[in-house]
Structure 1
Amino acid sequence: MRLAALFSGGKDSTYAVQVAEARGWEVTHLLSIRPADPDSMLFHVPNLHVTPLQAEAMDLPLLEERADAGEEAELEALRRAFRRPRVDGILVGAIASDYQHSRVNRVAHELGLRVFAPLWRLDPAHLVRDYLRARLRIVFSSVSADGFDASWLGRLWDEAAVEDLLRLGATRGVHPCGEGGEFETLVLDAPRFRKAIEVTRARPDWRGTAGVWRVEEARLVEKPQRRP
């Protein structure tokens, strides 16, 4: 089964690739959409300029499309992206967003492609720790919900962050995996990466009740040797 992964550089699309390959599916391409709308409901927005480094680290070709603002323009960008690789289906990291999942499925169906969503409807309370067990190095690249503040920008996804997310889920209704748009993430390293990403310059951009950790410079570096 040859698949192209809809890829944002965040935890879910990266983990979906890892899960898919563990199941024996062949991921041949990464597809990245860069939306003009900074508040796009369909696509991840922060730090998409880092995806070429991630693709290089994963040794996979990256196919990029730009999407004008508006739902129809974004769906048309999906169509263009899905037509480019010769694959059997599209791999997505969707967990619970019916808005995104239904639209991706609709476009794929139009083009005769199947959609594979290995994380769909998994328990988010388990998933938040699955990322840790899978050895993903994740940072928060944006936050925009009650209970978050500027200290979350650039914060590492670790056990303490997981506990805080679960607490915010219980007290503020935050989806622990950010499926309500509460936050976005960026993956800096994973078992699938041949090299790690080092952010050499970034700045937090906090505006009232929301913010973005803007990566200004990043590079690939050799991974440290793991202890046996």
Structure 2
Amino acid sequence: MLKKKCIFNWSGGKDSTLALHYALQDPALEICYLVTTISEKYSRVSMHGVRDTLLLKQAESIGIPLYEIRLPEMPDMQTYDDTMRIHLTQFKAEGITHSIFGDIYLQDLRDYRENKLAEVGLKALFPIWKKDTKALIDEFLALGYQTIIVCAQKNLADFCGKVITTALIDQLPPGIDPCGENGEFHTFAYEGPVFRKNVHFVLGEKVYRTYAAPKSTDSSTDGVCSVTSDLGFWYMDLLD
């Protein structure tokens, strides 16, 4: 059977990990790269704030090459789109046909991704699309995965730096999605079936940072903000 050659959009967090878990079980897929957007200025994962050295450790443990796309800090949509088009065109030339995402239910984001991929002749796959987010986090934990919250919105300061457990999810304030699908929090996965060995790290400093978000009419994408008010997040630095 001729396999579909794919890139996998990798953030290093729990949703990416579970989507990868599903994708690796599909015999029709060949995953060629884990693709991550990195802040050029800080050498960290866009939005999540995780050091690229830890992403490399994840990729080595998984056994799939990491492909870094470096972006300026808080790029506008045009810069983001132009940069991504260059790399997607290169993937297409290598025989890549599909791009896999860990999105769950943000339809406008899915539409954006599919439209941009179609412009260069690629298709999108969403292994965990429309699955119940509470069921997903329960499955993630039941499979033996471990993940830590590395970025959280202002009102979730006490959760930043905590390892996710069923009890912790039950303590989330009302209105917070169990998977943080609305951007409430982001995570770093370090143990579980897709990892051949655990990804070692130590806790660093927890800091609060604010960002002036540029106005955009497009949906929010990795490393790109589409709201007009300032954004504030807590970050737990992970050291390798």
Shorter-chain TM range is: 0.7 to 0.9
Query: Match for residue 218 of structure 2?
Result: none
Tell me the amino acid that sits aligned with residue 112 of structure 1: G
Judge conservation of contact 1:46–1:184 (CA < 8 Å) in 2: no
SS at the partner of 2:102? coil
Q: CA RMSD in A?
A: 2.2
Q: Match for 1:21: what amino acid?
A: L
Deviation at 1:194, TM superposition (A): 1.4
Q: Which runs of 5+ in 2 are unaligned?
A: 211-231
Whether 2:112 is the aligned partner of 1:103: answer yes
Normalised by the size of structure 1, how large is the TM-score? Answer: 0.82
Which residue, out of 181, 192, 205, partners 2:207? 205
1:73 and 2:79 aligned: yes
C-alpha contact 1:132 1:158 (8 A) present in aligned 2: yes
- Which has the higher mean CA deviation after the structures are superposed, 153-162 or 206-215? 206-215
Separation in 1, partners of 2:41, 2:121: 28
Partner of 1:182: 184
Pair 1:63 & 2:70 matched? no
- Equivalent position of 1:29 in the other structure: 33
For the structure 1 residues 84 and 195, does the alpha-carbon distance in structure 2 shift closer, same or farther, using more than 3 Å as the test? farther
Q: Please state how far the C-alpha of 1:100 moved relative to its aligned partner.
A: 2.9
1:13 aligns with 2:20: no
By how many angstroms is 1:207 displaced?
A: 5.7
Q: Is the Cα–Cα contact under 8 Å of residues 11 and 138 in structure 1 kept in the other structure?
A: yes
Measure how far apart 1:76 and its partner are: 2.2
Conservation of the 8 A alpha-carbon contact between 2:148 and 2:164: yes
CA gap 1:79/1:45 in 2 versus in 1, 3 angstroms: farther
Is 1:129–2:138 an aligned residue pair? Answer: yes
Equivalences, count: 206
Q: State the TM-score, normalizing by the size of structure 2.
A: 0.78
CA displacement, residues 41-88 of structure 1 (integer Å, 9 cap, x when unaligned): xx5432051211111111111111112311111122322332333322
Equivalences for 1:81-160 in 2 at 5 Å?
Answer: 81-85=87-91, 86=94, 87-146=96-155, 148-149=156-157, 151-160=158-167
Equivalent residue, structure 2, for 1:2: 5
Aligned residue among 211, 214, 218 for 2:237: 214
1:162 partnered with 2:179? no
Q: Point out the more displaced range, 16-25 or 75-84.
A: 75-84
The 1:5–1:207 alpha-carbon spacing in structure 2 relative to 1, beyond 3 Å, is: closer
- Give the Cα–Cα distance (whole angstroms) in 2 for the partners of residues 84 and 201 of structure 1: 37
Question: Given the superposition, is the C-alpha separation of residues 134 and 155 from structure 1 closer, same or farther in structure 2, using an over 3 Å criterion?
Answer: same
